[in-house]
Chains A and B, each alone.
Chain A
Amino acid sequence: MNVRQFLVAASAAVLALTMAGCAAGGAQPATSPSSAGAVKKGGHLVVAISGAPDTLDPAFTTSKYSTYTMPNWCERLFDVDAKLNIIPQLAAALPTISPDGKTVTIKLRTGIKFNDGTAFNADAVKVNLDRYRTNPRSAEAPNLKNVIDTKVIDQNTVQLDLSAPTAPLISVLANRSGMMASPTQLAKLGDNFGTDPVCVGPFSFVSRPSADTINLKKSQYYYDKNKVNLDTVTFQVITQPNVRATNLRSGDIQAAIDIAPADVASLKSDPNITMDDVVSLGFQLLTINVANSGGSGKPPYSPVSTPLANANLRKAFELTLDRNAINKVVYGGFKTPGCSPLSPASPWYTNIPCSKPNVAQAKKIVAASGVKTPIPVELTIQAANDEQTKLGTVIQAMAKQAGFAVSVKPTESAAGGASAQAGTFDAYMNGWSGRIDPDQNMSMFWSPTSALNYTGANYKDINDLMAKAASTTGDNAKRKALYAQIAEKMNEDRNYIVLFHDALMMGVRKDVTGVKYYSDAVIRLKTAGFTTGG
């Protein structure tokens, strides 16, 4: 065993331990290991992603696949490091916040150019932020709703005036709202910016011949272009996991995300491939219709008449679910079982105890409720999705033990989303890809006015705590404690039953190095390159 092999084996062992002690573990950010040879300049890298981004306009996109890929050609004011701490990217430093929390000042890097040669400055930032705030189609407007004004202080300084202290703001600027589009290109294309996006980034957009292919080339204007190795990059959409795995093994592609548990063993045994796995910020949640009587986001809510609207029966239902068994059977043990919307990968994570599976107690609760068994529950899952089908089948079998007759209703995703919003469902299997800020993993599901509040949740204590935590700027420890408190309260109400935190599994060919893959699932290719040895 040479040194490198030893290091790989050792880190694998550490990783395994971390996964086992999931609750205590944190993110294990992955960077594909440096291989025997040095990195060479040039080359064409093909990365397979598991779904197609919608539009490539940061103002309009809502697809997680845009978020995963766009930072390669559209850098943001802030980024995160491997441990998910926010760091400046196009900003020169972390922002300064006034004592009342209502004024945020951001210093910008100087001498930077967009990928069309346009100068990057405070005016450009203002154009972008105003577009995100005011364009009628902007998907980012809700994230910036507390920003009442953006001011250009000087060419390198922007000031945001807020209506209230807003803790999630910086993480929002480390996501799509922080992507800065070239004002020249925006003036030219307007709402069609997504067809030919020009931003600041290590790569510039070349073409998107079909929804499934995005071609990039190394930028000539990038401020840090000496660190960029690759000449060209292609993001290729391959939806079937087994096909991604096969193509990775054959060398047709050099990296692939979302490797399915079924393919992990064969890829791990392949001498040409390295597997990176990190705990994701994302989670799977069983959404239960408690009071969504007239459409999500439209309070007041009144309780629905389905059995699981009864809080005791929800408790009994959860007690039948064995998260570890689900993880083992459906996902080959690769997910991290848990019951909080906050991931162990997040610096905001607090370990809160999950209820242990207890069928006997579940039966008692069901008997005490007086509801006649079998209790019908219709569980909506995504159609034509093998893992969801398995998950549905396993939940069905588990809940049956306490007298729940779960009927699995696979629904094609757009129809499922529509019915979830309308409240015409009992239970709905939903996933969230995860955000850096804790508020953005909780409030969209629990805020009474959020369109994602499918369950009709409206609990005064949670609403108040959530508002308090979101406006707590400056004292992270205090804020973190508030979220732990909120997560525990959520688990008492059980409008959502979080089942597990996702695993991000990326396979990379061994002759590729420098791909950075953290828990936020962004595929960072800035320093990626081929090794000379391979």
Chain B
Amino acid sequence: MKWYVLRRLGISILTLVLSTMVIFVAVRLLPGDTAQVMAGESADAGVVAAIRAEYGLNQPWPVQYLQWIGHAVRGDLGTSAGTGLSVAGALAARLPVTLELAVLAVLIAVAIALPLGQLAAVHRGTARDYLPTTGSLIGLSVPHFWLGLLLILTFSVNLGWLPASGYVPFSQSPVGNLSRMIMPASVLGIGLAAVLMRQMRSAMIEALGSDYIRTARAKGLSERVVVGVHALRNALTTVVTVLGLELGALISGVVITEQIFVIPGLGKMTLDSVFSRDYTGLQGVVLLTATAYIVINFLVDVTYSLLNPRIRVGAGAS
């Protein structure tokens, strides 16, 4: 177990280092010079050169890379090229927003998927199976940015119940915060629930056919206890697995959802910094998402191997 965790940790760190290189190079492959964008279209060459010198953009790439990494490990991600604001500060301001959105989405997904997945598995082959199963397929088939528009149309434009967009910090107004977060979190949560429900269903079906359950039934335990106990254990592993697998999709989903609902989170920062050629800002936000992805996957793998020791052999190399 210790070796597995260490090996997995080593792989994660290697992936992270490789990712930083890819991020660094990818950002510089974008056409349009960051110094030129900062100086403005009408700027003459002298101003552009001055900016390039001030931000170290005239240095060779390896030097720029090492400087960036050297500062990054100390928590200094530089200053945004456009606004001159600290990138780490901007990330710190936006991370809680996106985190809240993601956590709410996962809660909504779990709240929908667990009971329905269980219901479908227990009543396999009946209407109580087909309805949620088809529902989850529809959930998979509906583009979430469209779902977002539909929710805005229904709850903001027609009914006027919820604000269409924007963000208010929870500390400032809990009601204002939740009333703005509920729609975007639902959009993300419904997509996630569709995946989660299907995984729950097959995991439950597998568990219900296992020897353990047969023994439990033979002992005369009530169906509720049998299903309940197993449901919990399965739910845990399944949620963990699906989260690991769907994290990438969730991150992309956040970008487009934040765009539709105008939420000042990391997703919006990502798009804004691409368009303004803000190298330092873009590097910072991509580094943060990549790190989050790698760390969460590491934790998922380790948790999973604790919950289910057989996995270690198979997952070790991948």
Binding site for B on A (CB under 8 A): 52-57, 60, 62-63, 136-139, 141-142, 191-192, 194-195, 208-213, 238-240, 243, 246-247, 250, 252, 297, 412-415, 417-421, 444, 450-452
Stretch at the interface among B161-169, B187-195, B234-242, B300-308: B161-169
B contact residues around A421 at 8 Å (CB): 36, 41
**Are B93 and A210 in touch, CB under 8 angstroms?**
yes
CB distance from A280 to the nearest CB of B (A): 19
Chain B nearest CB from A444 CB (Å) reads 6
Encode B30-52 as 1/0 by CB contact (under 8 A) with A. 11110011111111101101110
Point out the residues of chain B lying under 8 angstroms from A53, CB to CB. 83
**Residue of A at shortest CB range from B273?**
A211
Say yes or no: A211-B165 contact (C-beta < 8 A), given A54-B38, A243-B262, A418-B33: no
**CB within 8 Å: A-B pair count:** 121
Contacts of A420 in B (CB 8 A): 41
B43 to chain A, nearest CB (A): 6
Task: Name B residues whose Cβ lies closer than 8 Å to a Cβ of A.
Answer: 30-33, 36-44, 46-47, 49-51, 54, 80, 82-85, 90, 93-94, 156-157, 163-166, 262, 264, 269, 272, 274-277
Is there contact, CB below 8 Å, between A414 and B31?
yes
Q: Name which residue of chain B comes closest to A444, CB basis.
A: B42
Determine whether the beta carbon of A139 is less than 8 Å from that of B84: no
Q: Are B164 and A246 in contact (CB under 8 A)?
A: yes
Please list 20 pairs of residues, one from A and one from B, whose beta carbons are closer than 8 Å in the complex, sorted by A's number: A54-B83, A55-B82, A62-B43, A137-B39, A137-B54, A142-B44, A195-B84, A213-B264, A240-B262, A246-B157, A247-B164, A247-B165, A297-B44, A413-B275, A414-B275, A415-B32, A417-B32, A417-B37, A419-B31, A444-B42
Q: Output the nearest chain B residue to A450 by Cβ-Cβ distance.
A: B42
A466 nearest CB across to chain B (Å): 16
* A414:B277 contact, CB within 8 angstroms: yes
Task: Provide the bound-state CA to CA distance between A210 and B264, in Å.
Answer: 9
Given contact pairs A62-B39, A210-B90, A415-B32, A250 touches B83 in the complex (Cβ within 8 A)? no
Question: In the complex, what distance in Å separates the CA atom of A419 from the CA atom of B41?
Answer: 11
Contacts of B43 in A (CB 8 A): 62, 139, 451
Which one of A54, A55, A243, A415 lies within 8 Å of B31 (CB-CB)? A415
A54, A62, A194, A240 pick with most chain B CB within 10 angstroms? A54
Are the CB atoms of A211 and B272 closer together than 8 Å? yes
A418-B32 in contact (CB<8A): yes
Cross-interface CB contact of B156 among A191, A213, A246, cutoff 8 Å: A246
Interface contact A57-B156, CB-CB below 8 Å: no
Q: A212 vs B263: C-alpha distance in the bound complex, in angstroms?
A: 11
Q: Are B93 and A252 in contact (CB under 8 A)?
A: no
Q: Is B42 a contact of A452 with CB atoms below 8 Å?
A: yes
CA distance A307 to B43 in the complex (A): 29
| A-side contacts of B46, CB under 8 Å | 136
Given A413-B275, A414-B277, does the pair A62, B40 have CB atoms closer than 8 Å?
Answer: yes
